[in-house]
Amino acid sequence: MWDRLKARADAVQDRRIVDLMDDARATEFAVETATMRFDYAKTNLDAETRDMLLALAQDAGVAARRGAMFAGAPINETEGRAVLHTALRNLDGDAVMVDGQDVMPGVRETLARMEAYAGQVRDSAVTDVVNIGIGGSDLGPAMATQALSPYHDGPRVHFVSNVDGAHIADVLQGLEAKTTFVVVASKTFTTIETMTNARTARAWMSEHGGDPSAQFAALSTNLEKTAAFGIPGDRVFGFEDWVGGRYSMWGPIGLSLMIAIGPEGFRAFLRGGQEMDRHFRAAEGAENMPLMLALVGIWHRQACGYASRAVLPYDQRLGQLPAYLQQLEMESNGKSVAMDGTRIPVDTGPIVWGAPGTNGQHAFYQLIHQGTSVIPCEFMVAARGHEPELQHHHALLMANCLAQSEALMRGRTLDAALAKIADKFAGDELERQAAHRVFDGNRPSTTLVYETLDPFTLGQIIALYEHRVFVEGVILGINSYDQWGVELGKELATALQPIIEGETPADGKDGSTRALVAWLRARG
């Protein structure tokens, strides 16, 4: 099938997307839910290719695997775990069984405890909350807290992730220890960066008149370690190992977000996720938004061979979405080995990157429009902003978003470039100048439009991307829920720390590493 798909991509690559376009295509190559529309009409997909991709998903057993995931089967096979972040947003859904036990009563109880606790913090004299975590224990809540800033009505929420002391120093500077609350977010409660920052925050609080024994909470699966750190059980919010780190913002890891927007807002976020789950389970074939988002991804990466994809939210408050999606997609599907231990015969997950528009237009879009690599772009924009008095800004924002996808598709021919500057240049100089103003065009993009970036919609968007990762993983035969690739660097860092600190000789390290250690030590 991969060969057929690649052959198809080769066969159609010179065809102009703009020539395929008509009103019928705009309807046929789009998927809608009640509040969102995903348009993939500006790609080089046609009905026949889409059928091939749908057949690929069917052959890969996406539907059966989806059923297995929602039913609590241990689809994270290398770790022998279920994958049930969906249970965290299954607010009024059916029982979800893991090892013969319904996990929903526990999920509801934890949510109720979080709500009571968030309410308490919001009603108290706490002015600032510092969330200490990294990776999935940071990127999700940090991204969502920024995304939903119009809904903040609680204490200020800050995020510290990097072990670089600059991060915690900058965040703590100016905070009042007596009215600051620290949330240590770590699934394992062993992550070196998080534990180092947590100890630093604890020392800062003691030194500045706060009381860490009363002003720390923990979010973790490791209740032994949270107790050993000295956080009492009533301020520990536990979850199970069937929630992956990068999928964990729907449960206790979302506590800081809940404190910022309130329990009601957080429930709306969960309802958005649950709504997307329902859609993902029920919608058939090309009507299924996560499935189509995934198949467009497969088409671009595995069939057309485009190495990266750019996520371009025309929504300033989604500024951290690209970083969040980098972890979600690249930690999930950046693998070379299939579930059965064999080498995967095709390219796997693409490089995911991006930044909000319109800023990116004035930075890296040059390469997207005229560079030698084709980069499929994923645009996003809301129909309404949160600043009615600045409607003209929003109109400009939307215009820019749509203009970019149109420009990428249409490009500009040499004749058009010549005509545009014919009054300024002549002869060879006209030819030379015009060449720089040609845009090849025919560059694919998709556009996700949504009504407004409220908690419900954000929940839908995040669940949409989670399911996209799932579908792409199943088609590639990957286990999207482990991350062995992060281990080696962690081990080597642990071994290097005493060498950097001069406690252990650098013998046994390679020449480059030894030279770098010597340089840093000499100047440190």
Residue 490 catalytic?
yes
Q: How far is the CB of 210 from ligand F6P (least distance, A)?
A: 23
Nearer to ligand F6P, 104 or 330 (CB): 330
* 410 phi/psi in degrees, rounded to 5: -75, -45
**Contact call for residue 137 and ligand F6P (CB under 6 A):** yes
CA-wise closest residue to 119 among 153, 145, 88, 148: 153
Nearer to ligand F6P, 245 or 297 (CB): 245
**Contact call for residue 245 and ligand F6P (CB under 6 A):** yes
- C-alpha span between 268 and 275 (Å, rounded): 10
**Contact call for residue 486 and ligand F6P (CB under 6 A):** yes
Q: DSSP characters for 255-315?
A: HHHHHHHHHHHHHHHHHHHHHHHHHHHH--GGG-HHHHHHHHHHIIIIIS---EEEEEEE-
- C-alpha span between 179 and 215 (Å, rounded): 9
Nearer to ligand F6P, 379 or 481 (CB): 481
Site string for ligand F6P, 324-343 (x = CB under 6 A): -------x------------
Residue 501 catalytic?
no
Helix boundaries (H) for 13-87: 17-20, 23-28, 47-60, 62-70
**Contact call for residue 154 and ligand F6P (CB under 6 A):** no
For residue 37, give the 3-state DSSP assignment: strand
Residue 331 catalytic?
yes
Contacts 24+ apart (CB under 8 A), 395-404: 397/314, 397/357, 397/358, 398/314, 400/314, 400/357, 400/358, 400/361, 401/312, 401/314, 401/357, 401/447, 402/447, 404/312, 404/357, 404/361, 404/365, 404/377, 404/379, 404/445
Of 42, 187, 279, 309, which one interacts with ligand F6P (CB under 6 A)?
187
Of 5, 134, 163, 172, which one interacts with ligand F6P (CB under 6 A)?
134
Q: How far is the CB of 331 from ligand F6P (least distance, A)?
A: 6
Candidate ranges 118-126, 182-190, 305-313, 425-433; the one touching ligand F6P (CB under 6 A): 182-190
CA-wise closest residue to 331 among 248, 217, 236, 416: 248
Q: How far is the CB of 127 from ligand F6P (least distance, A)?
A: 26
Of 90, 226, 479, 483, which one interacts with ligand F6P (CB under 6 A)?
483
Nearer to ligand F6P, 186 or 302 (CB): 186
* 30 phi/psi in degrees, rounded to 5: -150, 155
* 45-74: contacts with ligand F6P (CB under 6 A): none
How many CB atoms are closer than 10 A to CB 496? 15
**Contact call for residue 290 and ligand F6P (CB under 6 A):** no
Kindly name the residue from 284, 362, 392, 503 that is annotated as catalytic: 362
Nearer to ligand F6P, 217 or 303 (CB): 217
Of 86, 131, 161, 194, which one interacts with ligand F6P (CB under 6 A)?
194
* 370-429: contacts with ligand F6P (CB under 6 A): none
**Contact call for residue 161 and ligand F6P (CB under 6 A):** no
Q: How far is the CB of 142 from ligand F6P (least distance, A)?
A: 12
CA atoms 308, 310, 311, 316: torsion sign:
positive
Kindly name the residue from 193, 275, 331, 466 that is annotated as catalytic: 331
Nearer to ligand F6P, 8 or 187 (CB): 187
Nearer to ligand F6P, 245 or 350 (CB): 245
**Contact call for residue 251 and ligand F6P (CB under 6 A):** no
Query: Contact residues for ligand F6P (CB under 6 A)?
Result: 134-137, 186-188, 191, 194, 245-246, 331, 483, 486
Catalytic (active-site) positions:
331, 362, 490
